[in-house]
Amino acid sequence: MAREAMKLVSNNKKAYHDYFIEEKYEAGLALHGTEVKSLRMGKCSIKEAFVQFENGEAFVLGMNISPYEKGNIFNKDPLRVRKLLLHKYEIGKLAGKMAQQGYTVVPLQVYFKDGRAKIEIGLAKGKKLYDKRRDIANKDMRREHEREFKIKNLG
């Protein structure tokens, strides 16, 4: 039986810019039929999405799955609240951490794994402006070093 590779649908680069990601978790997504078809076509945005916990369950809010073109009446609201499928101990751990000051849970990427829609969520702590500036400076410095190294080795 051939195993299907992970097929990336959406990536949240903004989360890595705005937060320090401390832990990552893989969660299933509770979706309706046309949403899955739309995801397979790559019509998903998680830039503004965040995770919330209520009554021992996890939900992702602000995740936009565009309506499927051929879905007509079966299409759901693109911004509806979607349930995350996590183990009870994972939900408890994440909800406990979120109760602490400065922690949040953000979606990092949406992908298909073995034919099932999955979402990678990260326990994150917000970055201050000076942290973001330092990251940009480090990135620029690394890029400059790589450019110098490339020129030195080519010449």
Which domains, from first to last, does the chain contain?
Answer: 7-128 (2.40.280.10)
Cβ 54 vs Cβ 20: under 8 Å: no
Proportion of the chain above pLDDT 70, given as a percent: 94
pLDDT of residue 43: 84
- Give the number of other Cβ atoms within 10 Å of residue 116's Cβ: 13
Strand runs labelled E in the chain: 7-11, 19-29, 44-45, 50-54, 57-61, 64-65, 82-85, 103-113, 116-126
Question: For residues 79 and 53, which has the higher predicted lDDT (pLDDT)?
Answer: 53
pLDDT of residue 119: 92
Residues 97-124 pLDDT 10s:
888 777 888 999 989 888 888 899 988 8
pLDDT of residue 1: 44
Residues 14-72 pLDDT 10s:
888 888 888 899 999 888 878 888 888 888 888 888 888 888 888 998 888 888 777 67
